[in-house]
Structure 1
């Protein structure tokens, strides 16, 4: 019997809509959220995701800009998250179209290890994003391409971004 890991992988990614979320130009993105979120929840290694009043987090305030949205989740490990992000066809289809809906943000995603059972807040995720932007990848705020080993020694190998 394998012991449960002491740490899990948290991630937050943010985006800024070019137009208000409810604008018709964003319909394909908004209409895909429920299906893609259901796929995430059914994925091997999925633990938790942030939701607001609906089944997504588009109504959860991120900062003072109402056009900014966040996606935040916790996964068993880097491989499980990477499999969903970079190899799940429905998620990839949406990622490949992100420039249609969202402004460019330099640092928009960060990964970090959390104790198993911890559910990060948006404020925690935004602080990790700021840390990554200020310091580059470090053990407390890193990227798929520059991952860090979990505090319990679970290794993390770099992942190539397949949708750049």
Structure 2
């Protein structure tokens, strides 16, 4: 049972080239607008903030998931870690507005692989996840599929660990 439950949400992608390469510049150019849209979304609480000069994040050192391709540079990983009120809030942000436009161009910038592109899980309202926790969750999803430990929009669980049905997301 979670107290004041929130959704922790981790996104993961492998860029077609390291940051700084023109191949992925369109992705990089959208980061600020996408972050600003998330920050202003209904149901959004907080996120790990990246220092674009050092590539460090505010919620601890970034770690590559075990399901990432071997030998990949951290500057080729596109990852976010955030907290939301519920899964519908995340979906409303992800599939509408500026993020939807960026998502529609995903194949231009991000490799396709067997790994999940995101993982969601419930946390207590005062808990702030770190990158180690996030990679454990996405690796769990990669190996076991959706479970209460880590799940997807297609097979979500409620904060008590029971399978649930999402409501249709509405734009923020």
Same fold (TM over 0.5): yes
TM-score (structure 1 length as normaliser): 0.84
Q: 2:72 aligns with which of 58, 62, 65?
A: 65
2:135 corresponds to: 126
Q: Shift in Å at residue 108 of structure 1?
A: 2.1
Q: What are the ranges of 5 or more consecutive residues in structure 2 without an aligned counterpart?
A: 65-70
Q: Contact between 1:7 and 1:151, CA under 8 Å: does it hold in 2? A: no
Shift of 1:75: 0.2
Question: What residue in structure 1 maps to residue 106 of structure 2?
Answer: 98
Counterpart among 88, 91, 100 of residue 82 in structure 1? 91
Relative contact order (C-alpha < 8 Å, sep 6+): which is higher? Answer: 2
Aligned residue number for residue 109 of structure 1: 118
Measured at CA, do residues 42 and 138 of structure 1 come closer, stay the same or move farther in structure 2, by a change above 3 Å? same
Q: How many residues align?
A: 154
* 4+ residue segments displaced more than 4 Å: 57-60
Q: 1:94 offset after TM fit, Å?
A: 0.4
SS of residue in 1 equivalent to 2:94: helix
CA-based RMSD of the aligned residues comes to: 2.5
Q: Distance in 2 between matches of 1:152 and 1:42?
A: 29
1:10 partner SS: strand
- Alpha-carbon distance between aligned partners in 1 of 2:167 and 2:109, rounded to the nearest angstrom: 25
Equivalent of 2:155, from 146, 154, 159?
Answer: 146
The aligned counterpart of 1:158 is 166
TM-score, normalised with respect to structure 2 = 0.80
